Amino acid sequence: MLREYGNLFSAFVYSVLQAALQDKAPGGWWWLSSFGAGFSCHGALLEVQAA
């Protein structure tokens, strides 16, 4: 992802999430996290259902 798109900063997590969903990654519980400027940390617990 980094080689193809470069550093997207915080938006990078959404690009990875989109790629994982398009690649039909297995469903279940996913942990999505990002780190920002200074030290800010954000996370989300996602329940993904396989199509």
**7-27 per-position pLDDT tens digit:** 777 777 888 888 888 887 788
At 38, phi and psi to the nearest 5?
65, -120
Count of the separate structural domains present in the chain? 1
Domain that holds residue 41: 2-48
Rounded Cα gap, residues 46 and 28, in angstroms: 8
Give the separation between CA 32 and CA 42, rounded to whole angstroms: 8
Torsion on CA atoms 49, 42, 23, 29, rounded to nearest 10:
-30
Longest dimension (CA), the chain: 38
Question: What are the two backbone dihedrals, phi and then psi, of residue 39, each rounded to the nearest 5 degrees?
Answer: -140, 90
pLDDT of residue 45: 94
pLDDT tens-place string over residues 35-46: 777 888 888 999
